[in-house]
């Protein structure tokens, strides 16, 4: 109550921020008349003037009024579009590193030019992040004209660019591109073999378009670069033959008797997991024996069959949870993932953990080999690398808490240029899906007859095609916009505002093209060509104006939601397609008790209310209680998804700290001309650690393992040294002197090798070996970390905190990784015989051998949402390195290895941890 009173008196924080920005807007407006008088040349000269002032120490914030006034005047001259005051406020919000929530059609793309221009002045580069290649190209081409007029360069990063084109695009003042391309380029840069091969500059300022889609919806899906690993596709084919014999467990009205119900597996729809029942396990074991996958008398839990559980689980999930034309489409002998948020086909992307191979087997297409992770990062940790990050969207307020908590980004709601007059009608809830679709078709028929354009939003390709078939039966012309119609997407959206147009869209979120009432006048004028006369253009304008007025008279764009999405924000995005810039419009959602959201989360309460009201078939309920119940269900799902993303981030933060250390080390190595000092320090550390293994501290000479030390020096350092004879010959040769002697001898051997083949060649060789060992060890470490991550939830059963256990063991594994890298480098440098420059080139060629890489946006699991059987990921190879799991008393790094080899633990089996 007190909070509401304070808001009434002094306004909300959002109100106060907007009020503060309005003072700056007045300063911008005050400069307008002066800038209008300037010639094009004088206007363009301002850019260099601003840069000179920055060089002299002036703050970037001081330039806001002048820079914004300049961009606004330039936009008026280049496009004939003048930024509204609310767009100026939005630009200031972006410059301050916040998120500007601006309604659809209010001009987010033009607003971004203000902050992009201002932050490009220091010359460090600005990245404008969009959701797809089409929008990146379109915005770079369009807005590039404005930046070019002001003397700035524009680049665009899309999937089909080569290395030189990418480097040039990143060198531009302002670079447009997709979130995936920016993220993958960061990972590729950290796999580069020289500084010249890197394409990105420092990550200075980023503006993320559709920020909620990129930072929220896609935050559960890390970017993964992987290469092919050995794996058997035959097992997927054989396990695929087993699954059709299994039946889903029947549901019992009594939860206590559920376990006794017949069936081989049950589905947990809330967590999207499939679990075998006890009967299911027995049946599967029998079927696996029949198919020759396990031996007679063995079980799935035998150590020899543990790996098989992974294949079986992937096949089970592929058959039960993933549906054709909903989660993926089959095209050109390939399984292509469909993005659940945007409905787009994600060509080239693959699910990890063997799921993609399982679905390939299910659909009878060619099974491609599994992959090994080479580099990985989540969007959360990639975007937090920017010195300053901002974003814009039409719908972020519902996720304001998460955006602030995870990214430190505050959401500021920007006022609309004109008041919103769209009518949002209450939800209509039916008993069955059949009744719901009948009502949807009737609503569409009514609008079509009156000449009112309709946009129908669906949650899957399957549902959009169902509505399409029902409309075809009624002879209603319509367009379908989904992953299968990707090529015609922009054209369909441009015409969705025509009188009587009917457009069906799968997850309309993030389409990026405005639906203009009466059709897209700009596109029509552009289609006439430059040679068209003014009379022709006037005729097109007149026809458009007639259509525009006809649509407004019919009520504007009517949006129909065929069911509620699990996120309120996606529903708001669909609604937001209507009522742009003060246009009339309306929206309504049609639901049934058979919809996924209702069935899983809200059906009991709503069904109870319907029974009390005595609902009959064909009747709908429209009541505030129902709307509140549905919103409550959506909040539950949003809260659960936030918890999942928060858990993933907590685990990825551990890997991120390690990633930063390894990547920083890598960059230092590539930048250094001479790493001989580093190599000398590593060699000294490794040799001294190894000597301690044979000469334990505070022991007499009689207790020393001289034979073991001689063998180590001979085998690992490639240096025959008669240590026993030296000790006999020199009674004063104590432990410190012996250590010094061995280190100096190894250093002399290295210097002799350098003298014989040349300093430049040996320096190049040292650098190549160091990078090769670092890359290979990091790759294996990633696999081990992934395996540790998948099994860590089991520690909860032992009353331990899985997150703390993960941090502790990951830290130990990372220390072992660093030790392992040092030992490998010293051993390789000592053993490999380099006699000429071609030998070094051979090492380089081996290190840089082209590997077929796959770029995945793989599903990420939460720690508390484990797979039924936690197993090594199918996307990872069988590697020697295993996660650190202690089953006996801890062995110290410098203790003798328990295997009995006589070597120090960290030089023997400790290497594998």
CATH number for the domain spanning 309: value is 3.90.1440.10
Q: What is the pTM of this model?
A: 0.70
pLDDT band at 881 (very low <50, low <70, confident <90, very high): very low
Q: What single DSSP character describes residue 598?
A: I
Annotated binding site for ATP: 87, 105-109, 514
Q: Across residues 381-401, what is the average pLDDT?
A: 84
What's the N-to-C CA distance of the chain in angstroms?
A: 58
Q: For the beta carbon of residue 58, count every other beta carbon within 10 angstroms.
A: 12
Closest CA to 868 of 236, 256, 313: 313
CA distance 448 to 403: 40
Q: Does residue 487 sit in the same domain as residue 556?
A: yes
Residue 876 has pLDDT above 80, yes or no: no
CATH number for the domain spanning 693: value is 1.10.3060.10
Q: Across residues 126-141, what is the average pLDDT?
A: 88
pLDDT for 912 equals 37
Q: Does residue 609 sit in the same domain as residue 689?
A: no
Q: Does residue 331 sit in the same domain as residue 429?
A: no
CA distance 839 to 828: 13
- Enumerate residues 6+ apart whose C-beta is below 8 A from 413: 14, 101, 397
Low-confidence winner among 326-330, 533-537, 700-704, 864-868 (lowest mean pLDDT): 864-868
Domain-embedded: residue 742: yes
pLDDT for 360 equals 93
Domain-embedded: residue 525: no
Q: Does residue 70 sit in the same domain as residue 201?
A: yes
pLDDT for 647 equals 80
CATH number for the domain spanning 128: value is 3.40.50.300
Q: Does residue 75 sit in the same domain as residue 59?
A: yes
Q: What single DSSP character describes residue 99?
A: E
- Reported as a single tens digit per residue, the pLDDT across 195-209 is 888 899 989 999 998
- Reported as a single tens digit per residue, the pLDDT across 629-646 is 778 888 888 888 888 888
pLDDT for 307 equals 64
Structure tokens at 615: 């609902």
291-to-147, 241, 568, 753, 763 alpha-carbon distances in Å:
65, 9, 47, 59, 57
Domain boundary among the residues 557, 587, 622 is at 622
pLDDT for 901 equals 44
pLDDT band at 558 (very low <50, low <70, confident <90, very high): very high
Residue 66 has pLDDT above 80, yes or no: yes
Residue 127 has pLDDT above 90, yes or no: yes
Domain-embedded: residue 18: yes
Q: What single DSSP character describes residue 399?
A: G
- Enumerate residues 6+ apart whose C-beta is below 8 A from 842: none
Q: Does residue 730 sit in the same domain as residue 761?
A: yes
pLDDT for 735 equals 83
pLDDT band at 50 (very low <50, low <70, confident <90, very high): very high
Q: Does residue 234 sit in the same domain as residue 222?
A: no
More confident residue, 362 or 508: 362
Domain-embedded: residue 472: yes
CA distance 349 to 858: 8
- Enumerate residues 6+ apart whose C-beta is below 8 A from 339: 345, 346, 483, 507
CA distance 153 to 172: 5
pLDDT for 509 equals 44
Low-confidence winner among 165-179, 314-328, 879-893 (lowest mean pLDDT): 879-893
Give the chain's domain count: 4
DSSP string computed for 559-575: EEESS--SSHHHHHHHH
Low-confidence winner among 232-241, 355-364, 370-379 (lowest mean pLDDT): 370-379
Domain boundary among the residues 781, 809, 844 is at 844
Q: Does residue 365 sit in the same domain as residue 509?
A: no
Q: Are 288 and 294 in contact (CB under 8 A)?
A: yes
Residue 689 has pLDDT above 50, yes or no: yes
Q: Across residues 541-563, what is the average pLDDT?
A: 87
Domain boundary among the residues 802, 817, 844 is at 844
Q: Does residue 204 sit in the same domain as residue 327?
A: no
Q: Are 511 and 485 in contact (CB under 8 A)?
A: no
Domain enclosing residue 830, as ranges: 646-844
**% the chain with pLDDT above 90:** 18
Annotated binding site: 87, 105-109, 514
Closest CA to 68 of 51, 92, 45, 52: 92
pLDDT band at 867 (very low <50, low <70, confident <90, very high): very low
- Reported as a single tens digit per residue, the pLDDT across 751-805 is 888 888 788 888 888 888 888 888 888 887 887 787 787 777 777 777 888 888 8
Domain-embedded: residue 906: no
- Reported as a single tens digit per residue, the pLDDT across 809-842 is 889 999 989 998 998 888 888 877 666 666 556 5
Domain-embedded: residue 884: no
Residue 428 has pLDDT above 90, yes or no: no
Q: Does residue 593 sit in the same domain as residue 662?
A: no
More confident residue, 456 or 900: 456
CA distance 260 to 448: 53
Closest CA to 867 of 783, 791, 800: 791
658-to-654, 772, 810 alpha-carbon distances in Å:
7, 18, 9
- Reported as a single tens digit per residue, the pLDDT across 268-302 is 776 677 878 878 888 888 888 888 888 887 776 55
CA distance 600 to 671: 56
CA distance 324 to 321: 10
Q: How many residues does the chain have?
A: 913
The mean of the pLDDT values for the chain is: 80
Q: Does residue 311 sit in the same domain as residue 190?
A: no
Domain-embedded: residue 190: yes
Domain-embedded: residue 385: yes
Q: Are 499 and 492 in contact (CB under 8 A)?
A: no
More confident residue, 526 or 891: 526
Q: Does residue 187 sit in the same domain as residue 316?
A: no
């Amino acid at each position: 109550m007190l909070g509401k009173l304070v808001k009434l008196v002094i306004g909300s924080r959002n109100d106060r921020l907007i009020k503060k920005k309005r003072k700056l807007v007045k300063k911008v407006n005050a400069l307008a008349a002066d800038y209008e008088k300037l010639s094009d040349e004088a206007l363009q000269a301002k850019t260099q003037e601003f840069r000179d002032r920055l060089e002299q120490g002036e703050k970037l914030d001081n330039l806001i009024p002048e820079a914004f006034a300049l961009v606004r005047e330039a936009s008026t001259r280049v496009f004939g579009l003048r930024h509204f005051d609310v767009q100026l406020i939005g630009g200031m919000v972006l410059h301050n590193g916040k998120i500007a929530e601006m309604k659809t059609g209010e001009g987010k793309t033009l607003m971004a030019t203000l902050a992009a221009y201002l932050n490009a002045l220091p010359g460090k580069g600005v990245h404008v992040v969009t959701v797809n290649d089409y929008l990146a190209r379109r915005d770079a081409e369009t807005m590039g004209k404005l930046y070019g007029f002001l003397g700035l360069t524009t680049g665009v990063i899309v999937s089909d660019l080569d290395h030189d084109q990418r480097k040039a695009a990143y060198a531009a003042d302002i670079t447009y591109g997709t979130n995936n391309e920016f993220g993958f380029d960061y990972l590729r840069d950290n796999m580069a073999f020289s500084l010249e091969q890197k394409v990105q500059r420092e990550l200075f300022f980023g503006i993320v378009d559709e920020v909620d889609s990129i930072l929220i919806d896609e935050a559960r899906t890390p970017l993964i670069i992987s290469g092919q690993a050995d794996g058997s596709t035959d097992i997927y084919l054989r396990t695929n033959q087993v699954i059709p014999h299994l039946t889903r467990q029947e549901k019992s009205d009594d939860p206590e008797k559920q376990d006794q119900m017949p069936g081989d597996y049950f589905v947990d729809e809330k967590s999207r997991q499939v679990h075998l029942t006890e009967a299911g396990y027995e049946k599967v074991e029998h079927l696996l024996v029949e198919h020759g996958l396990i031996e007679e008398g063995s079980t799935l839990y035998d150590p020899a069959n543990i790996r098989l559980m992974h294949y079986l689980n992937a096949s089970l999930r592929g058959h039960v949870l993933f549906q054709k034309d909903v989660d993926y489409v089959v095209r050109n002998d390939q399984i292509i993932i469909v993005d659940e948020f945007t409905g787009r086909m994600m060509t080239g992307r693959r699910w990890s953990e063997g799921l993609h191979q399982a679905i390939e087997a299910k659909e009878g297409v060619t099974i491609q080999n599994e992959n090994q992770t080479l580099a990985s990062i989540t969007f959360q940790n990639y975007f937090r690398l920017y010195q300053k990050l901002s974003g814009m969207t039409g719908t972020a307020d519902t996720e304001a808490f998460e955006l602030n908590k995870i990214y430190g980004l505050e959401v500021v709601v920007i006022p609309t240029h004109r008041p919103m007059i769209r009518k949002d009608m209450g939800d209509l809830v039916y008993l069955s899906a059949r009744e719901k679709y009948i009502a949807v078709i009737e609503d569409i028929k009514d609008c079509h007859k009156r000449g009112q354009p309709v946009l129908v939003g669906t949650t899957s390709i399957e549902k959009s095609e169902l509505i399409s078939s029902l409309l075809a039966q009624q002879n209603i012309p319509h367009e379908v916009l989904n992953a299968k119609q990707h090529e015609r997407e922009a054209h369909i959206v441009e015409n969705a505002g025509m009188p009587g147009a009917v457009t069906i869209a799968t997850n309309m979120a993030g389409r990026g093209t405005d639906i203009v009432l009466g059709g897209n006048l700009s596109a029509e004028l552009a289609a006439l060509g430059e040679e068209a006369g003014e009379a022709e253009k006037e005729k097109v304008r007149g026809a458009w104006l007639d259509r525009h007025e006809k649509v407004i008279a019919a009520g504007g764009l009517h949006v129909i939601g065929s069911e509620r999405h699990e996120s309120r924000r996606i529903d708001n995005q669909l609604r937001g397609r209507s009522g742009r810039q003060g246009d009339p419009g309306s929206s309504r959602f049609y639901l049934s008790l058979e919809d996924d959201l209702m069935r899983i989360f809200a059906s009991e309460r709503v069904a109870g209310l319907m029974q009390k009201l005595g609902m009959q078939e064909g009747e709908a309920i429209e009541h505030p209680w129902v709307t509140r119940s549905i919103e409550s269900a959506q909040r539950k799902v949003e809260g659960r998804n936030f918890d999942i993303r928060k858990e993933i981030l907590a685990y990825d933060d551990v890997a991120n700290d390690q990633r930063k250390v390894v990547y920083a080390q890598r960059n230092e190595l590539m930048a250094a001309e001479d790493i001989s000092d580093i190599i000398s320090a590593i060699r000294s550390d490794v040799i001294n650690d190894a000597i301690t293994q044979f000469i334990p501290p505070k022991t007499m000479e009689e207790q020393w393992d001289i034979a073991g030390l001689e063998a180590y020096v001979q085998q690992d350092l490639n240096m025959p040294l008669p240590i026993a004879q030296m000790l006999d010959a020199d009674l004063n040769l104590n432990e410190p002197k012996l250590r010094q002697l061995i280190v100096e001898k190894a250093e002399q051997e290295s210097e002799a090798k350098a003298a014989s083949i040349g300093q430049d060649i040996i320096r190049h060789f040292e650098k190549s070996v160091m990078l090769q060992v670092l890359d290979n060890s990091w790759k294996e470490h990633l696999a081990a970390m992934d395996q540790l991550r998948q099994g860590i939830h089991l520690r909860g059963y032992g009353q331990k905190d899985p997150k703390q256990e993960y941090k502790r063991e990951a830290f130990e594994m990372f220390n072992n990784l660093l030790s392992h890298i040092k030992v490998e480098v010293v051993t390789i440098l000592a053993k490999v015989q380099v006699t000429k420059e071609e030998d070094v080139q051979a090492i380089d060629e081996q290190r840089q051998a082209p590997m077929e890489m796959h770029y995945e946006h793989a599903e990420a699991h939460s720690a508390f949402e484990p797979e039924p059987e936690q197993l090594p990921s199918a996307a990872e190879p069988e590697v020697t390195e295993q996660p650190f799991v202690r089953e006996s008393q801890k062995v110290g790094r410098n203790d003798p290895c328990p295997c009995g080899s006589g070597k120090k633990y960290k030089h023997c089996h400790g290497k594998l941890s």
